[in-house]
Structure 1
Amino acid sequence: MGQPIPDFGKFLEGLRGSMSLREAARKSGLSHAYIRDLELERNRSTNDKITPSPDTLQKLSAAYGYPYTDLMIKAGHLMSSHVASSFAPKPNEDMDLSNVYFIEIGMKEITYYQKGATITRSIESLLDFSSFLDRLEENDFKKMDTDLYVNFNHIRKYDERRGRLYFHEDGEGPHVTISAIRQRKYHEHLLRKVAINTKKSLEFSFSKSGKSATFSTAEKNV
């Protein structure tokens, strides 16, 4: 671990520039109040000093268009020498994510769940981990909970009432539970992915009670 640059909060405020706090919140997925706390480097409710986590920095990096690695160095999570010497192959880079249903991320390891198999790999460094998160996004993995990411390309049944995602159309076998907030965020995307993965058409209907979706049993022409 390194040391954060002096006045790191003011640096973050400078990155935000003329962007309003609410616009920064919309782009990053963080609350505008929390972003302001980070700029002041303290929790305004408790007056405790706060430091952004790597996950928070990744969101700010995307929102502000600033390199994630550089932000990690300035926040003290990485050292420049660590980045410069980090050329060794990373043990999670050779994993074929297309065959993975979902993954769980621990403090020091990542567990991959495939059909009939479970594989655990270590997290070698924060730099390794940030690269890994980029790969998840590229392969349509979505964050369902604090440590759970699901491959939307394998979801074949979405039980909206119970908040469950299944990898088989019949609802048998392994499944994961999606939090209510993530369910609201990804609801329509889930419906479309299930239609694509099962090669069925998706139809929306509108009524006074709202919009509902149904799947046709006829396969799509591909």
Structure 2
Amino acid sequence: MGQPVPEFGKFLESLRGSLSLREAARKSGLSHAYIRDLELERNRSTNDRITPSPDTLQKLSVAYGYPYTELMIKAGHLSNGDVVTGSQGAKADIDLNEVRFIEIGMKEIVYHSENLDTTLSVDSLLDFSSFLDKLEEYGFRKMDTDLYVSFNHVRKYDERRGKLYFDEEGKGAHVTISALRQKKYHDLLVRHVANNTNKSLEFSFGKNGKSQLAHIIEDNV
């Protein structure tokens, strides 16, 4: 853990540059009020001092086109000595095809596979934005602020409880997702579960005549 640069909020404001707060909000997915609070380094409702989380910094990094690692250092989440470069960074390579879900903390990333959990430091990543892009290429979707799940490994989807299982019986490892994420990814999840378990899908037709995905019905022959 390092020390934030003096007047980090003003530094964030300088990165925003000519962008309006609402433009910055649109590009980052954060609220314009929260971005302004970060620039002032305090919550204007409570007057409490605030510090952006690594997830918030990642969003600002993408919005402002500024390196994530550098932003983490300036915010005090990392020190220069924490950053892994060159061949050391290559040691952090993991086969994402084997990973079921990933939890991203402030300092660590935990990769959960069937028989092994691997923990690496966040600073082992040379480019966090590229890392997130790579996750999507491998079928991962963001289920929470710090949770990414590989839909290629989900074999049971419990809609009522909002749980995703990695075995068909629903007795093994699982993750819980919010109602908002269920609504967003429902059809995609059902399709992936059907594909991962060699099942068929049943469709219904709405009043407008368009087909709607219903549920999984039987094994493919």
Q: Same fold (TM over 0.5)?
A: yes
Contact 1:2 1:78 in 2 (8 A): yes
1:48 corresponds to = 48
Sort the Cα spacing of 1:95 and 1:76 in 2 relative to 1 into closer, same or farther, 3 A: same
Q: Distance in 2 between matches of 1:113 and 1:6?
A: 38
> Which segment is superposed worse, 127-136 or 69-78?
127-136
Q: What does residue range 1-222 of structure 1 map to in structure 2 within 5 Å?
A: 1-80=1-80, 82-83=82-83, 86-87=85-86, 89-90=88-89, 93-105=92-104, 110-115=109-114, 117-123=115-121, 126-128=122-124, 131=127, 133-134=131-132, 135-145=134-144, 147-198=146-197, 200=200, 203=203, 205-207=205-207, 212-214=212-214, 215=216, 217=218
Q: Distance in 1 between matches of 2:218 and 2:203?
A: 11
Sort the Cα spacing of 1:110 and 1:67 in 2 relative to 1 into closer, same or farther, 3 A: closer
- Structure 2 gap ranges (5+): none
The alignment's TM-score, normalised by the length of structure 2, stands at: 0.73
SS of 2:206's equivalent?
strand
Sort the Cα spacing of 1:80 and 1:103 in 2 relative to 1 into closer, same or farther, 3 A: closer
Q: Percent identity of the aligned residues?
A: 63
Count of aligned pairs between the two proteins = 214
Q: Distance in 2 between matches of 1:131 and 1:34?
A: 25
Deviation of residue 105 (structure 1)? 4.9
The one-letter code matched in structure 1 to 2:141 is K
The one-letter code matched in structure 2 to 1:38 is L
Deviation of residue 187 (structure 1)? 3.0
Sort the Cα spacing of 1:163 and 1:22 in 2 relative to 1 into closer, same or farther, 3 A: farther
Sort the Cα spacing of 1:104 and 1:5 in 2 relative to 1 into closer, same or farther, 3 A: closer
Contact 1:102 1:151 in 2 (8 A): yes
Deviation of residue 57 (structure 1)? 0.5
Sort the Cα spacing of 1:204 and 1:191 in 2 relative to 1 into closer, same or farther, 3 A: farther
Question: C-alpha deviations, 1:167-192, integer Å up to 9, x for none?
Answer: 23454533222122332343343234
The alignment's TM-score, normalised by the length of structure 1, stands at: 0.73
Deviation of residue 34 (structure 1)? 1.4
The one-letter code matched in structure 2 to 1:35 is I
Q: Distance in 2 between matches of 1:109 and 1:14?
A: 29
